[in-house]
Amino acid sequence: MRAVPRWSLGADATSMSRDFLFTDFTQAFAFMTQLALAAEKRDHHPEWSNVYNRVNITWTTHDAAGLTQLDIAMAKLCDSLFERYQQ
Ligand code: H2B
């Protein structure tokens, strides 16, 4: 978790989550579209929700019933994608 300091560990430590705030829905959905394509490519998919300019993402590995290196990698990817949306 030291590698992804902006993410919070779930209560049972089997997942981690982060809220992302954008300027508007268009930016939020563009981010989600980019992430969706990356997730499909890696066959590792987010649990997420979106309300207007806010996207909440949870990573867990269902196959392992917990957190794996892949979740860390995807969280890092979210962080770096999100940086591009910051002005
Ligand atoms: N995504 C996530 N987050 N965890 C998984 O265990 C997982 C996945 N498994 N995407 C993949 C799909 C698996 O179900 C398929 C069959 O590869």
* 37-53 residues labelled b (16+ CB within 10 A) or e (exposed): eebeeeebebebebeee
Distance 12 CA to ligand 1 centre (A): 20
Ligand 1: which of 15, 37, 45, 78 to mutate, most ligand atoms within 8 Å of CB?
A: 45
Hunting for tokens 């993410």 — which residue is that?
A: 7
Q: What is the mean pLDDT of residues 70-78?
A: 98
Report pLDDT digits (tens) over 38-61. Answer: 999 999 999 999 999 999 999 999
How confident is the model over 17-43, as pLDDT tens digits? 999 999 999 999 999 999 999 999 999
Which pLDDT band holds residue 1 (cuts at 50, 70, 90)?
confident
Any idea which fold 16-86 has?
Gyrase A; domain 2 (3.30.1360)
- Calculate the CA dihedral of residues 46, 50, 55, 56 and round it to 10 degrees: -60
Task: Tell me which residues have their CB closer than 6 angstroms to ligand 1.
Answer: 43-45, 61-63
Domain map (residue ranges) of the chain: 16-86
